[in-house]
Structure 1
Amino acid sequence: MAEMTIRELADICGVAVSTVSRAMNDRSDVSPETRERVRAAARRYGYIPNASARRLKISTTQTISVIVQGELGQLVIEVLSHLEEAFAESGYDTTLQHVSEEHAHAGTVERLVREGKYGGVVFLGRYGSSDRDLSAQLIRRLAEIDVPMVFCTTPDYSGADSLHSSISVDDQSGAFELVSHLIEAGHRRIAFVGAGSERDREHAWALRLAGYRSALAAASIPFDERLVVPSAEEHHIYSIVNGYESTKRWLPDAPTDVTALMAVCDAAALGTARALSEAGKRVPEDCSLVGFDGMDLAKYYVPRITTLAQPLSEIAQSAARVLLATMRNPSRAIEQVWIRGRLLEGESVRRID
């Protein structure tokens, strides 16, 4: 029989994962009744906490900070849930720190980390400026803070020699697979919706655009700059409103022979679908559409959006593994982990002759 996980025990007790962690670790911020109920359930169902993590936390703080910049979208919330479970399984509490765009600089993070005395930090999603050079400077500054850090769902783009470990979906290969899927369905005139600024070339949108271009090249389809739809909302690229506004602005002058679009993410795909509908175009009858991320909103949209699903649990588990290992051994080698996504076929792609 497989060992019980902390999430399963939390579900049985009707409490949060973090509450189980605190109860099992004799924390004073859990009521005696709840502590006893959790421990009794643990004995009954054979739950065994991670012993190595118990030994580790004796020499360090019990809390790990997850820092999020900008919007708290569905993907961020789901990854946060997985991170909380993974850290709790190892005996740690997780706290969320939200940083607004205007305060996204190393000084803010240094203050948050030093005041909180955290054992480790996870940067969830993008951290830094839309200006790549400025972001690289910020990340180099973060390396001077003496606290283990890992980037989750985004690479460390500080330069050729990365300063931090990172775990991310393989954005480029995922986009390559999506566009290749469209090409296999007979499409040759494929637009990309949601391109950001040229200086931002190592963020997710740019890696996905690179995968788009690689798929076209592999099929000997000429790249056409007119089919790259720039983001109307530069600071909210991965949003429904950006997909909608970007597509709406582009459509009046768009080439008339476009048969398919790849949106930078699922949320943008929904906005794109709305803009297409308002222009009298149906998905997929008049125009096929794919997204990226594998979010529920794409699954339950009509038609269901074909997408590239990010393995969020695997990404979070890898981030937790790397951070905890770095906390044990701060001098360990940097890891850059790229995790392959999975193509989910929906109803938004039509095969053409």
Structure 2
Amino acid sequence: MTIRELARICGVAVSTVSRAMNDRSDVNPETRARIRAAAERHGYVPNASARRLKIGTTQTISVVIQGELGQLLIEVLEHLGLAFADAGYDTVLSHVAEQHATAGTVERIVREGKFDGVVFLGRYGSADREASSQLSRRLAEIDVPMVFCTTPDYSGAASLHSSISVDDQTGAYELTSHLIAHGHRRIAFVGGGTERDGEHAWALRLAGYRAALGAAGISFDEELVVPSVLPDQLYTMRNGYESVAQWPGSGIPGDVTAIMAVCDAAAVGAARALSEAGRRVPDEVSLVGFDGLDIGKYHVPRITTVAQPLAEIAQSTARVLLATMREPDRAIEQVWIRGRVVEGESVRLLT
């Protein structure tokens, strides 16, 4: 049922139907009631997008996700939807393909949709720090409140946007310390990026891993940091699998007793590659991930990980964005929420 069909059924102009459905006072009450009754009877639903464009208000928030829609982002998106619904806002997912991840694309999404606020969920921009910084600065020129969720703002020391994320560095520190407490000394870090950018999640986790080794008096070995062979798919099972399967040199060193994968999905992929190489988990190689996703919980053996507090991250994101929408000039917030180590069955105690 279109607005033109409804207008024909009711014997009125299309503009009259539009005014009646928008509760305009310049429509006769009897006519408005007749049109609304017909709309309900025939299942007519107003075009919300067109209405937003016309009246310039939305009560709608756009959640922008770049690239792959992983399980973690989908779970955060669900929590965000609930939090914004409680505040009276609808949530619209705007997905941006990797090749179109530019400020121009996001600006078009925001301006055409006339959204009240934007959440940038997950990674954004490219692995290149300067390109990501430029993107963040361009986004700041869009006059719409914006908050980064599960990722920091890469624009520089004086960040331009508020951000809410798990404390990646502390989580990785505690996870590495867990391995060390179980007697492991030769611990590899697998699946990180190829650029040493200290602000990306993988780099913060690498920093936590390195700090824990130092605190335990274990020398950092650059050769045990195995970069991703798929830099555009860092947080995937395929990345974990390929990074271990294509281990530099002659393969997995025999003295490596534990592997920290960049995330749970990569840990599951790494487990497959270890199995194909004849290295059993955890009997020969212990394995940990990061995120606390279901994929790790149901893997055999269950993956030891750091669980991200996704509901808390989403609620904090909603709080900050709604506050910024009410007060655009409020101070920038950078919130780091601590995760917790969840023991599975993938770590062996060395004697």
1:233 maps to which residue? 230
User: Is 1:128 paired with 2:125?
Assistant: yes
Cα offsets for 1:213-253 (capped at 9, x unmatched):
00000001000011001101110000000000000111733
Contact 1:243 1:272 in 2 (8 A): yes
> Structure 2 counterpart of 1:234, which letter?
P
Q: Distance in 2 between matches of 1:201 and 1:318?
A: 23
Q: Distance in 2 between matches of 1:240 and 1:32?
A: 48
Q: Distance in 1 between matches of 2:57 and 2:183?
A: 57
Distance apart, 1:195 and its partner CA: 1.7
Q: Distance in 2 between matches of 1:289 and 1:140?
A: 39
2:165 maps to which residue? 168
Distance apart, 1:198 and its partner CA: 1.9
2:14 maps to which residue? none
> Structure 1 counterpart of 2:347, which letter?
V
Count of aligned positions: 303
Contact 1:132 1:201 in 2 (8 A): no
Q: Distance in 2 between matches of 1:236 and 1:59?
A: 38
Contact 2:189 2:226 in 1 (8 A): yes
> Structure 2 counterpart of 1:268, which letter?
A
Cα offsets for 1:95-114 (capped at 9, x unmatched):
00000111111111111100
Distance apart, 1:199 and its partner CA: 4.6
TM-score by length of 2: 0.84
Contact 1:131 1:199 in 2 (8 A): no
Distance apart, 1:157 and its partner CA: 1.4
User: Counterpart of 2:243 in 1: which secondary structure?
Assistant: helix
Q: Distance in 2 between matches of 1:113 and 1:155?
A: 20
Q: 1:256 to 1:82 in 2, by over 3 A?
A: same
Distance apart, 1:60 and its partner CA: 5.1
1:99 maps to which residue? 96
Contact 2:196 2:203 in 1 (8 A): no
User: Is 1:242 paired with 2:242?
Assistant: no
Q: Distance in 2 between matches of 1:220 and 1:178?
A: 16
> Structure 2 counterpart of 1:319, which letter?
T
User: Counterpart of 1:333 in 2: which secondary structure?
Assistant: coil
User: Counterpart of 1:250 in 2: which secondary structure?
Assistant: coil
Q: Distance in 1 between matches of 2:328 and 2:57?
A: 12
| 5+ long unaligned stretches in structure 1 | 1-25, 34-57
Q: 2:326 aligns with which of 325, 328, 333?
A: 328
Q: 1:301 aligns with which of 299, 302, 317?
A: 299
Matches within 5 A, 1:115-264: 115-250=112-247, 252-264=250-262
Percent identity between matched residues is 74
> Structure 2 counterpart of 1:155, which letter?
P
Q: Distance in 1 between matches of 2:283 and 2:101?
A: 43
Q: Distance in 2 between matches of 1:60 and 1:337?
A: 29
Matches within 5 A, 1:260-279: 260-279=258-277
Q: Distance in 2 between matches of 1:243 and 1:253?
A: 14
> Structure 2 counterpart of 1:341, which letter?
G
> Structure 1 counterpart of 2:179, which letter?
L
Q: Distance in 2 between matches of 1:342 and 1:174?
A: 7
1:282 maps to which residue? 280
Alignment root-mean-square deviation, CA: 1.9
Contact 2:127 2:195 in 1 (8 A): no
Q: Distance in 2 between matches of 1:259 and 1:79?
A: 34
Larger-gyration structure (1/2): 2
Distance apart, 1:200 and its partner CA: 3.4
Q: Distance in 2 between matches of 1:59 and 1:174?
A: 43
> Structure 1 counterpart of 2:107, which letter?
E
Cα offsets for 1:57-96 (capped at 9, x unmatched):
x995310000000000100100000000000011000000
Matches within 5 A, 1:48-67: 61-67=58-64
Contact 1:226 1:254 in 2 (8 A): no
Q: Distance in 1 between matches of 2:313 and 2:68?
A: 20
User: Counterpart of 2:246 in 1: which secondary structure?
Assistant: helix
Contact 2:238 2:269 in 1 (8 A): yes
Q: Distance in 1 between matches of 2:112 and 2:234?
A: 32
Contact 2:152 2:163 in 1 (8 A): yes
Q: Distance in 2 between matches of 1:213 and 1:267?
A: 21
Contact 2:171 2:205 in 1 (8 A): yes
Q: Distance in 1 between matches of 2:87 and 2:65?
A: 22
> Structure 2 counterpart of 1:212, which letter?
Y
User: Counterpart of 1:253 in 2: which secondary structure?
Assistant: coil
